[in-house]
Chain A
Amino acid sequence: MSSEKSDLPQGTLDLLILKTVALGPVHGYAIAQRLQQISRDVVQVPGGSLYPALHRLEVRKLLAAEWGKTETGREAKFYRLTRSGRVHLQAGSASWKRLSEAVGLILGPAEGGA
């Protein structure tokens, strides 16, 4: 895989999935597509990471899943956010925002100077 893609920090994938699913019930393939589109191809999640993550979130009851039909009429497993998933997402994105601002503050000046 190309070197332009960044590795995701631990735990971030869960947050990205939750955010994606928050927009409405969606199946696994669509989640992968959306993540790639929204991040302008920076984030590419291989199926080998995506599906275990989805199943983990389902077992932890942050996501709920049911089988349904896609627009093309095919059967697929659709995930949606549960209440505790929503709470988790809010807390997670808040703390992520804090962290990235802090990291930005530290890294910011170093780029121009030294």
Chain B
Amino acid sequence: MKWWRRLLRDQEQENHLDKELRFHIEERVADFIRSGLTEEEARRRVRQEFGGMDQVKEDCRDARGTRWIEYLFQDLRYAARVMRKNPAFTSVAVAILALGIGANTAIFSVIDATLLKSLPVRSPGELAVIEEINSRGETNSLSYPLFEEIRERVTAFSGVFASLDGTERVEVKDRDGVLDSTAELQLVSGEYFGVLGVRAFLGRTVSPQDNLSVGGHPVAVLSYRFWKRAFHGGPGVIGRNILIKQQAFSIIGVTPPEFFGEAPGVAPDVWIPLMMQPAINNGQSYLASAGRGWLRVVGRVKAGEAATAGPAIQLFLSQLKAEPGRVGKAMMRHIRDLTVYPGDKGIRRLRVKYSLPLQVLMGTAGLILLLACANLANLLLVRGEERTREMSIRLAVGAERFRLVRQLMTENLAIALLGGGLGVLIAKQGAYGLLLLASDGPEPLPLAVAVDVRVMVFCIAMCVMSTLIFGLMPALRSVQAGGALALTSTPRRNRLLGPGLVIAQIALSVLLVNGAGLFVRTLESLRSQDLGFRRAHLIQATINPRASSYNAAQFPALFGRTYETIRSVPGVSSASMSTSGFGTGTSRTCCVSVERRDMSGVQNRQVRTVNVTPGYLSNLDLPIVAGRDFLDRDVQTGHVAIVNKAFAHAFFGTSSPVGERFGWGDPPDLKYDTEIVGVAQNANIGDLREEAKPMIYYPTAGGAVIHVRSAIDPASMIASLRSAIQGVDANIWVNANTVEELVDRILVKETLMATLGACFGVLAMLLASVGIYGLTSHSVAMRKREIGIRVALGATRGDIVGMVCHYVSVLTACGIGLGLAASLLSGGVLSSLLFGVAPGDGAVLVFVLLTTAAASAVAAFMPSIRAASVDPVQTLRSE
């Protein structure tokens, strides 16, 4: 019988037991009467013989094993009573635990969504993601012809699909002008939904029949969230038309709410067939190009044959090398390898980025919970002393020790569960905040983070674990003390346990504050990293003419008009245009050759190239260290370039490159037709941890990236820039930010670590201070008599304060020592997340020492004052 059914049947069981025993007694009495006894005598005999009715019942319940439930309810009732009687203790304990458990649960829910949870698709364990490694050892997106070859030739897969590697942000409209929304667009092959095993929530999904002829399948599947957002979840959405880049798409279905795509952290809103790609790229088709990598490819292996994916792809690669098919011999030279990784958790980009930071955060939150537990253990020890008398009495009247320990643990568990319940609420908000912090835009990272069964199980496990950590020792101790003591004696505190716990708390907080210091320093040094150019008052705007259906031939005219307009905007001190900017990604070209230089020994001939308008360098305040800046006539004449210092160093060493010439490729095509006229300072292009790489600036008349230097308020400047550009063409998509904002956006991960690290550090310090305060005031209270005697014998107030301070400073010193040792030992884990600061950084250590010392001084202040004001006469008399 299940225990809960037993519980329900409890009352019935009791009645039966009572009836059965009563029957026995009545029969026995009747027998005795029959043998000649009076009824009174008979009953007396039976009572004597049978023993106590209640004892027998208890033994029967024991035999049935129902007693623990009864005890549980008894204990819970008692726990509730104890908690109500001590509201201050209960609320402090619950609050401390709620913070600790909440932080852990929040971080776990995000970890679960990014690192642990499988995709909500059919048998995710059978999915395998194929990656292409190019000749430079970088991971590349795959081309459509390569996908076709994989689909046809790799028989180990029961199915394989391709999808756009990343999403494209587009505007979604309709002909009536009612709908106007932005959406993340994802292009998928016809096999996509079938291979993933995702069924439509409404209508149907894209099928292989929707991906047969180029441009012939204008159908779209919406995500559940987009359907809710743009169509308010209306059922009549199927069959409606939407406009994406002037192409009409007919909505055929909506995906289920739990499906966020195959790449955690990047949630598409609209899926369309791959064959529609030219329609959204101005008619330019990528489908036949073997040289353009733009897809990711995921296969499903046959059930139970997950290990076959790797060898199958290797076999395919060797076949492809012999017979390139659609990929072509030329492209095969650029493919060094094809590799496979398990796709059960989806595309791993986000996982790779956040894996270590999340693990460090989880560890930190774990330490916070440990600290909270140490704090509670201390509180419970103190309270245990207050309850020693209660325990003694209960033991004296015959309670089992085990029962008492169990009852105390039930109280502790009740507190932990209350804390955990509150913690879940904190976790919900916390996880949202975490996603907001981890996202580089105003929207939180689109992740399926929810308080689901897994998170609840984690939370409950946390509650139970912390109950054991903070509660078991105090419970055992107070029962033991209750047994050991006569009722009359005053309780004695264990000399080592309390101080040990406080030292552990200080050590933990030192560890956490040290970590927080390192992360804050990292953020600072990255933020103040020299970009090469002056970022103050610099605004970067990018326009996307392709998205507004301009073709390449129309670009120069558009750029020219835009440039004119911008320069005349009031408040613009200077402006320039270029083909790339900070954080936009920069073209790389191979393979540079420098005149009169042997290039055969040069490992990497790939350099970054960017076309800039004359005046670009002075607008950015990027110093020219040798030679000259571009002149207006350079745009017409061409054949001149400015290189950066890294280029000069890589190809010319210490000699000056000014006046030297370079060209592209190898003989016989090679022509040294470009003269280096200047050398510029290295400029950072958007990776703040990166060493400068060789770069070439070419002169041009315009580009899609605009830089404006302006002294007026950036927000209003951006607004007037936007309206100026849209005055040129109302359909143009403008993206404008200050460079400061762009830097912050790049530092999302570092900001996350520094912010959360600092929060945890402050919390840890606070908890440790409470611990120090509690222990010190307790020890002062315990030593009142001793202090009274000392004062009576002539100790001054200063002596007494000194005594207390000595006690606290010994504890603090031990804690700091332990904490620093732990910090140095664990520093290696953090080193890859740090920049411009090492785990043993002096300034951080000094900061940690000072804050910890200050915190413990503050915590010890009140107790030492109390100690100093002990009146010897009163104290000695009261004993």
**Residues of A participating in the B interface, judged by any CB pair closer than 8 Å:** 27-29, 32, 46-48, 51-53, 55-56, 58-59, 67, 74-77
Contacts and interface: CB of A to CB of B under 8 A. Distances in A.
B51 A46 contact: yes
Given A29-B23, A55-B64, A74-B23, A48 B59 contact: yes
Given A51-B56, A51-B60, A59-B64, A76 B50 contact: no
A29 B51 contact: no
Contact of B63 (A46, A47, A56): A56
B51 A48 contact: yes
Contacts of B25: 47
Nearest to B23: A76
A51 B62 CA distance: 11
B59 A52 contact: yes
Contacts of A32: 24
B16 interface: yes
B49 interface: yes
B55 A29 contact: no
Contacts of B20: 28, 51, 76-77
B16 A47 contact: no
A28 B60 CA distance: 13
A27 B56 CA distance: 17
A52 B62 contact: yes
Contacts of A59: 63-65
Contacts of B49: 46-47
B19 interface: yes
Contacts of B401: none
Given A46-B49, A47-B50, A59-B65, A29 B60 contact: no
Given A46-B50, A47-B50, A47-B56, A29 B19 contact: no
B21 interface: yes
A76 B24 CA distance: 9
A56 B17 CA distance: 13
Nearest to B13: A55
A28 B56 contact: no
A50 B56 CA distance: 9
| A53, A55, A67, A75 interface centre (most CB from chain B within 10 Å) | A55
Contact of B27 (A29, A67, A75, A77): A29
Given A29-B23, A47-B51, A77-B16, 17 more contacts: A29-B27, A29-B28, A47-B21, A47-B24, A48-B55, A48-B56, A48-B59, A51-B24, A51-B56, A52-B59, A52-B62, A53-B63, A55-B17, A55-B64, A56-B64, A74-B26, A76-B23
A5 to B, nearest CB: 12
Interface of B: 16-17, 19-21, 23-28, 49-51, 55-56, 59-60, 62-65
11 contacts: A48-B50, A48-B51, A51-B20, A51-B21, A51-B59, A52-B62, A53-B63, A59-B63, A74-B23, A75-B19, A77-B19
Main secondary structure of the interface of B (DSSP, over half): helix
B62 to A, nearest CB: 7
B69 to A, nearest CB: 14
A27 B24 CA distance: 9
A47 B60 CA distance: 11
B12 to A, nearest CB: 12
Contacts of B16: 67, 77
B24 A28 contact: yes
A1 to B, nearest CB: 8
Contacts of B21: 47, 51
A46 B51 CA distance: 8
Contacts of A76: 20, 23
A13 B528 CA distance: 85
B55 to A, nearest CB: 7
A35 B593 CA distance: 110
A58 B63 CA distance: 9
3 cross-chain pairs, A with B, having the tightest CB-CB distances, nearest first: A56-B63, A52-B59, A48-B51
A71 B17 CA distance: 21
A59 B27 CA distance: 25
Contacts of B28: 29
Contacts of B50: 46-48
A46 B28 CA distance: 12
A29 B46 CA distance: 13
A77 B23 contact: yes
Nearest to A28: B24
A46 B21 CA distance: 12
A29 B26 CA distance: 10
Contacts of B60: 51-52, 55
A77 B51 CA distance: 20
Contacts of A51: 20-21, 24, 56, 59-60
A95 B373 CA distance: 54
A50 B65 CA distance: 17
Contact of A52 (B23, B24, B63): B63
Contacts of B59: 48, 51-52
B24 A55 contact: no
Nearest to A50: B24
| B28, B55, B60 interface centre (most CB from chain A within 10 Å) | B60
A48 B49 CA distance: 9
A47 B21 CA distance: 8
A75 B63 contact: no
Contacts of A29: 23-24, 27-28
B738 to A, nearest CB: 76
Nearest to B50: A47
A78 to B, nearest CB: 10
A53 B56 CA distance: 11
A53 B26 CA distance: 20
A84 to B, nearest CB: 16
Contacts of B65: 59
A52 B16 CA distance: 14
B855 to A, nearest CB: 58
Nearest to A59: B64
Contact of B23 (A53, A55, A56, A75): A75
A76 B55 CA distance: 21
| A28, A48, A74 interface centre (most CB from chain B within 10 Å) | A48
A76 B64 CA distance: 19
Contacts of A27: 23
Contacts of A74: 23, 26
Contacts of B55: 48
| A46, A47, A75 interface centre (most CB from chain B within 10 Å) | A47
Contacts of B27: 29
A46 B59 CA distance: 13
A56 B59 CA distance: 10
B521 to A, nearest CB: 65
Nearest to A44: B49
B63 A55 contact: yes
A101 B27 CA distance: 37
Contacts of B19: 75, 77
Nearest to A77: B20
A55 B60 CA distance: 6
Nearest to B24: A29
Contacts of A56: 63-64
A67 B17 CA distance: 12
Contacts of B56: 47-48, 51-52
B142 to A, nearest CB: 64
